């Protein structure tokens, strides 16, 4: 069973315990979330001015949008204000920045069906983030930038939590995938040939689906081990959303987290998580229990294959 908690009063420790058990937590109105969304709307509005960002797919071709976003998304991600917003949000909702590490936030763009859906705007099929190297402690925070609706958001498959779902995560190596990031333009046309872990049998028409629609200024938190997907966007407007991922140091040390019943990928994303208070990474000793011996060496070798062109 998946419980959905709306504006709960419990603290961060209790929240993590419930999220690792498959619950989803929604906060409907948080000033710090609204501030991050407003900051992001400002940057996107400036980027596309004088056009309306939510109908930008009518102005530019998929190829032009790919070029614009390949330039823009890293600029937004690495703007120091983005990480400051992440820290403010986590603190506002009871998280301790001294004990919590976060990965850089991601900006997602989901264009209406038929538009750009590969590479820089990849429309994720059903997956667990843990099939992509996410650690068992990963908590995802997902928030809309403009108002979203049930026809342009994401959905959960709650029956899949903690269950074995046949999948191809065994073909996925986190360090190889990191090398692909440098070639995102190669995958932003009709030929996204990267390995994307997914259920071998897909998601059946009878599957139980859960769609939560947080309002603008709201957020939903869920385990990286949840089975979920982007919904094909049939709304006619572009969806912009922000997500970021956090892990708690105490749980990383204790080995506490989500069940990860069917995860077979190689490598871990844990090195991407930096302490919110000062940006410190995990030590190799802290990462070692989550990594495969020798995988880091593979990572070093793989970087040589990143083309410079």
Q: How many residues contact Fe ion, by CB under 5 A?
A: 1
SS (HEC) of 10-21: CCHHHHHHHHHC
Beta carbon of residue 139, minimum distance to Fe ion (angstroms, whole number)? 12
Q: Among the candidate windows 108-116, 124-132, 204-212, 231-239, which touches Fe ion by CB under 5 A?
A: 124-132
Beta carbon of residue 51, minimum distance to Fe ion (angstroms, whole number)? 29
Q: Among the candidate windows 15-23, 129-137, 144-152, 192-200, which touches Fe ion by CB under 5 A?
A: 129-137
- How far is the C-alpha of 146 from the C-alpha of 149, rounded, in Å? 10
For residue 194 the two structure tokens come to 């990267």
Residues of span 205-244 touching Fe ion by CB under 5 A: none
- The single residue among 23, 129, 155, 225 that binds Fe ion, judged by CB under 5 A, is 129
- Of 82 and 226, the one with the shorter C-beta distance to Fe ion is 226
Beta carbon of residue 260, minimum distance to Fe ion (angstroms, whole number)? 14
- Of 56 and 139, the one with the shorter C-beta distance to Fe ion is 139
Strands 4-6 and 24-27: parallel
Q: Among the candidate windows 7-15, 44-52, 126-134, 162-170, which touches Fe ion by CB under 5 A?
A: 126-134
Q: How would you class 275 by CB atoms within 10 Å of its CB: exposed for 0-12, middle for 13-18, buried for 19 or more?
A: middle
Residues of span 160-179 touching Fe ion by CB under 5 A: none
Task: Report the 10 Å Cβ neighbour count for 268.
Answer: 24
- Of 129 and 155, the one with the shorter C-beta distance to Fe ion is 129
Report how far apart, in Å, the C-alpha atoms of 236 and of each of 112, 140, 151, 204, 308 are: 5, 26, 9, 25, 37
Helix axes 31-48, 80-92, angle to 10 degrees: 160
Structural contact between residues 259 and 56, judged by C-beta atoms closer than 8 angstroms: no
Please report whether residue 32 would count as binding Fe ion according to CB under 5 A. no
- Of 129 and 291, the one with the shorter C-beta distance to Fe ion is 129
- Of 48 and 131, the one with the shorter C-beta distance to Fe ion is 131
- How far is the C-alpha of 7 from the C-alpha of 156, rounded, in Å? 19
Q: Among the candidate windows 91-99, 123-131, 250-258, 262-270, which touches Fe ion by CB under 5 A?
A: 123-131
- Of 93 and 126, the one with the shorter C-beta distance to Fe ion is 126
Q: Among the candidate windows 38-46, 76-84, 122-130, 145-153, which touches Fe ion by CB under 5 A?
A: 122-130
CA atoms within 13 A on the CB side of 257: 24
Beta carbon of residue 154, minimum distance to Fe ion (angstroms, whole number)? 8
For residue 289 the two structure tokens come to 């229990």
Structural contact between residues 225 and 269, judged by C-beta atoms closer than 8 angstroms: no
Residues within the interface to Fe ion (CB under 5 A): 129
């Amino acid at each position: 069973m998946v419980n959905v908690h709306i504006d709960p009063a419990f603290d961060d420790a209790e929240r993590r315990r419930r999220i690792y058990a498959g619950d989803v937590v929604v906060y409907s109105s948080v000033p710090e979330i609204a501030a991050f969304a407003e900051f992001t709307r400002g940057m996107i509005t400036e980027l596309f001015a004088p056009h309306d960002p939510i109908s930008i797919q009518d102005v530019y071709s998929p190829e032009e949008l790919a070029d614009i976003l390949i330039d823009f998304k890293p600029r937004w991600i690495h703007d120091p204000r983005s990480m400051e917003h992440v820290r403010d949000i986590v603190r506002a909702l009871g998280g301790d920045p001294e004990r919590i590490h976060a990965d850089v936030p991601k900006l997602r763009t989901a264009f209406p069906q038929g538009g750009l859906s590969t590479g820089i705007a990849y429309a994720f099929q059903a997956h667990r983030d843990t099939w992509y190297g996410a650690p068992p402690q990963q908590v995802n925070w997902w928030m809309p930038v403009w108002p979203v609706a049930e026809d342009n958001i994401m959905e959960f498959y709650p029956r899949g939590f903690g269950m074995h779902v046949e999948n191809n995560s065994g073909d996925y190596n986190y360090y190889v995938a990191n090398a692909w990031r440098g070639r995102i333009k190669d995958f932003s046309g009709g030929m996204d040939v990267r390995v994307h872990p997914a259920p071998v049998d897909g998601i059946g028409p009878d599957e139980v689906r859960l769609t939560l629609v947080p309002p603008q200024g709201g957020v939903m938190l869920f385990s990286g081990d949840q089975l979920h997907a982007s919904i094909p966007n049939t709304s006619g407007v572009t969806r912009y959303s922000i997500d970021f991922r956090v892990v708690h140091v105490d749980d990383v040390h204790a080995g506490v987290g989500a069940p990860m019943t069917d995860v077979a990928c190689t490598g871990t994303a844990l090195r991407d998580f930096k302490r919110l208070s000062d940006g410190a990474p995990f030590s190799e000793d802290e990462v070692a229990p989550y990594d495969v011996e020798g995988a880091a060496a593979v990572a070093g070798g793989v970087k040589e294959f990143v083309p410079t062109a």
